Amino acid sequence: MDRVLIIGASGGIGSALTAALRGQSVDVVGLSRSDDGFDITDEASVEAHLSALEGPFDAIVIASGALEIAGAAPEKSIRAVSARAMADQFAVNAIGPALVLRHAARLLPRGRRSVCAVLTARVGSIGDNRIGGWTSYRAAKAAMNQIVHTTAIELARTHPELVCVALHPGTVQTPFTAKYLGRHPAVPADQAAQNILQVLDGLNAAQTGGFFDWAGKEVAW
């Protein structure tokens, strides 16, 4: 890859991906709220920033996301669901990335391999959900998985060598997860970035529309 667009480039995983790629002499264009005023929850902001970019990019990675928004922690049960907290989760973790994906066809090359990856989460898997809880976050990530799958089908018609996937990066040691790690094993962000890049390098166009984990294993929908 020679040129990559990272959405959420100032976050824990996004900044690690940016550093790893630049360490390989890749030209990285990064967008984030803190560095560029890019607000993925604001349609006008997404449109203004992405319309100003010129392609093609060899890869687009959407690494933005949030687990706790406006002080609303993941729900322990359905009894704790609120309309505001659920709407916020969908705005950040599903609607925002979908607004970015509206620009994918223009920013990615048609005649050669390229990658469009959205970092989602294993907890967005319906088939893998065995303990309940985290209703709003799970639902938003499940919606994002559907958005990725749908986008992959559509883009394959014009970009036959594109790999468009949902990717679970594993549990990563970032401010995003600090309060929720508990006893769960986690990896540093720089290791997670290397895992992600290795998976993306190994996927092919026949796997577009899939949902994969940090080790390249397919995750149940």
The b-or-e profile of 52-74 (16+ CB within 10 A means b, else e) is: eeebebbbbbbbbbbbbbeebeb
pLDDT band for 140, please (50, 70, 90 cuts): very high
- Residues 122 and 168 sit within 8 Å (Cβ to Cβ): yes
- Which domains, from first to last, does the chain contain? 3-213 (3.40.50.720)
pLDDT band for 186, please (50, 70, 90 cuts): confident
Which one, of 36, 34, 64, lies nearest residue 52 by Cα? 36
User: How far is Cα 186 from Cα 90, in angstroms, rounded to an integer?
Assistant: 25
Q: Residue 56, preceding bond cis, omega within 30 degrees? A: yes
- pLDDT tens-digit readout, 50-69: 999 999 999 999 999 999 99
pLDDT band for 187, please (50, 70, 90 cuts): confident
- pLDDT tens-digit readout, 82-128: 999 999 999 999 999 999 999 999 999 999 999 999 999 999 999 99
Helix or strand or coil: residue 90? helix
Q: Is the pTM of this model over 0.85?
A: yes
